[in-house]
């Protein structure tokens, strides 16, 4: 299962889909930009008593069955409902898939006995924080369809939580693996950039795009990481684990429920012989440096997707186009200044691990937010530090007494991925 797989979708020269809802499921759809038609189509498939899905899992399974293909003779697309022959649509889809060549990671997985189930939903161009800017509409959070699944690789996290797969793949540029993992209550791991080559990706950011992994537990994370990884130094477990906790996270715009439960985690870890040292990182401003990283990503994205940006007829959303245009217009001197600042953050952060085994923070300043409310701008305030500093980082779910999933983030020194995963197994037992 891979989060970036939507790049293989068929290119149909239409702007918008009209969904034929024969099974009375339109009340579950939350994509306001999609036209819903619940009348009778041109097909012959009959359903005597349509069964309404009662759970998110059942809704997902209904979608996977693709029963609509049997219900209609044609597919209506575009704002005027232009008709495309169903058989032609399916043929074009199958040809697109068959003609596409597996990337190296998928080849390795298949070679070693892995089974690729399918592609998951993601934000367009991996640029977004809700998995809503997609050809397929918004991804639903299986915990609660009113809550955000995060982004950009939200479909991968949802697939894990729904029990559809054991492992999933996504990309992490500012937290796009760890944030969805946190909102869904599953495990999300971003390796060091040196461990896995990203040159074969359709890149948004040359500097910061990193392939990451999802799993329902650390056992699954370790399995897929060991399957793919070919270079990483062996670990040597410390006699006593010590963690630095940056004190500025307590002063950041962090939600009270997240802060309260994070303090409980600290107490719990201390009671299990984990040494916790709270210390200010006076060179790191979570909000300021997240904004700086975002500008670099927007600027590099504008270069990497320049062909789409130059073509006014290209099938990209206004949201993506406006962000890429913004990145394109950032002055070179500003980019150079931001890069210099982020390099200082990277150097000083990496030096911290000469004295500490791990860095501990909440994964996000908030738990999964309501999709009807405005998207928080600070979602990546804590996760972006690992991207800036090129650290391996993992989001670990914490089963507290809160209704929404909670998680913490662990970071380790660059290229100490295996050490991080080994120590995380200890944390997994404590937090569960």
CATH code of 321's domain: 3.90.1300.10
Tokens at residue 427, please?
Answer: 């944390």
Tell me the average pLDDT across 51-68: 47
Q: At what angle do helices 256-271 and 417-431 cross, to 10 degrees?
A: 100
Residue-level pLDDT at 78: 42
- Are 51 and 181 within one domain? no
Domain check: are 66 and 161 in the same one? Answer: no
Indicate if the pLDDT at residue 91 is higher than 70. Answer: no
Q: How far apart are CA 112 and CA 213, in angstroms?
A: 17
| Residue 242: CA count within 13 A, CB half-sphere | 10
Do 38 and 116 belong together in one domain? no
Neighbouring-strand partners of residue 398: 406
Are 115 and 85 found together in one domain? no
Local structure of residue 147 (DSSP, 8 states): B
The stretch 129-144 carries a mean pLDDT of 84
**Based on the domain organization, do 177 and 300 belong to the same domain?**
yes
Does residue 262 surpass a pLDDT of 80? yes
**What pLDDT digit, counting tens, does each position of 8-56 carry?**
333 334 444 444 444 444 444 444 444 444 444 344 434 444 455 445 4
Q: What is the DSSP string of 51-107?
A: PPP-SHHHHHHHHHHTTHHHH-SEEEETTTTEEEEHHHHHHHHHHHHHHSPPPHHHH
* Alpha-helical segments (H) within 112-217: 154-161, 178-184
How many other C-beta atoms are found inside a 10 Å radius of the C-beta of residue 168? 30
> What are the φ and ψ backbone dihedral angles of 392, each rounded to 5 degrees?
-70, 140
pLDDT tens digit sequence for 393-407: 999 999 766 678 889
Residue 302 corresponds to which tokens in the numbers above?
Answer: 């504008």
Cβ neighbours around 315 below 10 Å, total: 13
Domain boundary among 99, 134, 163: 99
Same domain, 117 and 247: yes
**219 and 305, same domain (yes or no):** yes
| Most confident residue range from 8-17, 248-257, 276-285 | 276-285
Structurally, the chain folds into a number of domains equal to 2
Q: Specify the length of the chain in residues.
A: 432
Give me 59's structure tokens: 């809704």
What is the overall mean pLDDT for the chain?
80
- The domain of 411 spans 104-431
List all residues 6 or more positions away from 55 whose beta carbon is below 8 Å from its beta carbon.
none
pLDDT at position 200 over 90: no
Cα 164 from chain centroid (whole Å): 17
Helix axes 218-228, 104-111, angle to 10 degrees: 110
The Cα 432–Cα 429 span in angstroms is: 5
Considering the domain architecture, whether residues 268 and 407 belong to the same structural domain is answered as yes
Preceding peptide of 368 cis, ω within 30°: no
| Same domain flag for 134 and 87 | no
In this structure, are 304 and 168 located in the same domain? yes
For residues 141 and 205, state if they share a domain. yes
Alpha helices in 162-252 (DSSP H): 178-184, 218-228, 248-251
* CA–CA gap between residue 100 and residue 93 (Å, rounded): 11
On the 0-12 / 13-18 / 19+ scale of CB atoms within 10 A, 251 is exposed
The last residue of one of the domains, among 38, 66, 99, is: 99
Buried b (16+ CB within 10 A) or exposed e, 45-58: eeeeeeeebeebee
Residues 73, 211, single domain; the answer is no
The answer on pLDDT for 271 being more than 70 is: yes
Which among 99, 134, 153 is the end of a domain?
A: 99
Q: List 246's β-bridge partners, or say none.
A: 279
Task: Please tell me the predicted confidence (pLDDT) of residue 110.
Answer: 85
């Amino acid at each position: 299962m891979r989060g970036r797989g939507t790049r293989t979708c068929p290119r149909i020269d239409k702007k918008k889909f009209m969904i034929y809802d024969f099974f009375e499921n339109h009340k579950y759809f939350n994509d306001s930009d999609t036209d819903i038609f619940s009348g009778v189509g041109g097909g012959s498939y009959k359903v005597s008593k349509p069964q309404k899905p009662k759970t998110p899992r059942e809704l997902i399974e209904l979608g996977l069955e693709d029963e609509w293909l049997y219900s209609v003779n044609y597919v209506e697309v575009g704002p005027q409902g232009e008709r495309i022959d169903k058989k032609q649509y399916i043929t074009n889809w199958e040809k697109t898939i068959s003609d596409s060549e597996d990337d190296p990671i998928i080849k390795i997985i298949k070679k070693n006995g892995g089974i690729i189930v399918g592609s998951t939903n993601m934000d367009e161009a991996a640029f977004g924080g809700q998995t809503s800017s997609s050809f397929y509409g918004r991804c639903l959070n299986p915990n609660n369809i009113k809550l955000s699944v995060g982004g950009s690789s939200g479909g991968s996290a949802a697939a894990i939580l729904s029990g559809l797969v054991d492992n999933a793949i996504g990309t992490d540029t500012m937290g796009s693996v760890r944030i969805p993992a946190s909102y869904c209550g599953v495990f999300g791991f971003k390796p060091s950039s040196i461990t896995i080559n990203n040159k074969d990706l359709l890149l948004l950011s040359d500097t910061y795009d990193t392939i990451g992994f999802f799993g329902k537990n650390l056992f699954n994370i370790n399995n897929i990481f060991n399957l793919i990884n070919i270079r990483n130094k062996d670990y040597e477990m410390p006699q006593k684990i010590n963690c630095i906790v940056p004190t500025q996270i307590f002063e950041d715009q962090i939600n009270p429920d997240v802060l309260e439960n994070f303090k409980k985690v600290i107490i719990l870890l201390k009671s299990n012989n984990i040494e916790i040292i709270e210390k200010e990182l006076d060179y790191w401003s979570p909000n300021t440096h997240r904004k700086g990283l975002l500008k670099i990503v927007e600027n590099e994205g504008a270069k990497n997707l320049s062909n789409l940006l130059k073509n006014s007829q290209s099938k990209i959303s206004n949201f993506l186009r406006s962000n890429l245009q913004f990145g394109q217009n950032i002055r070179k001197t500003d980019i150079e200044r931001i890069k210099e600042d982020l390099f200082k953050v990277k150097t000083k952060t990496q030096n911290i691990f000469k004295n500490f085994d791990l860095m501990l923070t909440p994964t996000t300043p908030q738990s999964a937010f309501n999709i009807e409310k405005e998207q928080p701008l600070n979602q990546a305030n804590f996760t972006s530090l690992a991207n800036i500093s090129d650290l391996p980082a993992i989001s670990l779910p914490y089963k507290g007494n809160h209704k929404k999933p909670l998680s913490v983030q662990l970071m380790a020194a660059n290229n100490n991925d295996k050490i991080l995963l080994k120590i995380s197994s200890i944390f997994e037992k404590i937090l569960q």
